[in-house]
C-alpha cells in the first residue's frame, strides 16, 4: 500500500533558477562599486597616515629643534613604533625637509 502525499510544498527548479538569477544580477551591480570604494579607502588611509606622521615630525622638531632626517630618528626618539611606514596601497613614505610625503610623489630639484 503506497501512500501518496498531497499538498507537498517545496521550491520548484524554476523558482530556484529565478532566485539565482536575481542574486547574480545584484552581485554584478554591487561588485564594481566595492572595488571603487576600496581605492578611495586606500587613498584616505594614506592621507591619514601622512598627517599622523607629520604630527610626530612636528613634535620631534619642537623637542629637538631640528627635523628628523629619516623615520629611524623618530623611532629611536619614541615617536613612532616602526620605521617601516607604508600606505595601505603599498607605497612608502619619506621625510624631506620636515615634510612627510609618499615616495612616488616626492619632488625632485
Q: Compare 32 and 95 and report the one with higher pLDDT.
A: 95
pTM of the model: 0.62
Specify whether the CB–CB gap between 15 and 57 falls below 8 A: no
* Extents of the domains making up the chain: 13-104
Spatial CA neighbour of 86 closest among 57, 44, 49, 55: 49
The rounded Cα 88 to chain-centroid distance in angstroms is 5
pLDDT digits 0-9 by tens, 87-102:
888 888 988 888 998 8
End-to-end Cα separation, the chain, in angstroms:
95
Q: Compare 11 and 76 and report the one with higher pLDDT.
A: 76
Confidence of residue 81 (pLDDT cuts 50, 70, 90): confident
Beta strands in 1-109 (DSSP E): 93-96, 99-102
Amino acid at each position: 500500500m503506497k501512500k501518496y502525499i498531497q499538498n507537498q510544498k517545496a521550491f520548484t527548479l524554476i523558482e530556484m533558477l529565478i532566485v539565482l538569477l536575481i542574486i547574480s544580477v545584484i552581485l554584478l551591480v554591487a561588485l564594481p562599486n566595492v572595488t571603487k570604494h576600496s581605492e578611495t579607502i586606500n587613498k584616505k588611509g594614506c592621507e591619514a597616515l601622512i598627517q599622523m606622521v607629520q604630527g610626530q615630525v612636528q613634535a620631534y622638531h619642537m623637542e629637538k629643534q631640528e627635523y628628523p632626517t629619516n623615520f629611524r630618528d623618530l623611532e629611536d626618539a619614541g615617536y613612532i613604533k616602526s620605521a617601516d611606514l607604508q600606505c595601505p596601497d603599498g607605497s612608502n613614505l619619506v621625510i624631506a625637509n620636515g615634510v612627510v610625503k609618499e615616495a612616488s610623489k616626492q619632488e625632485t630639484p
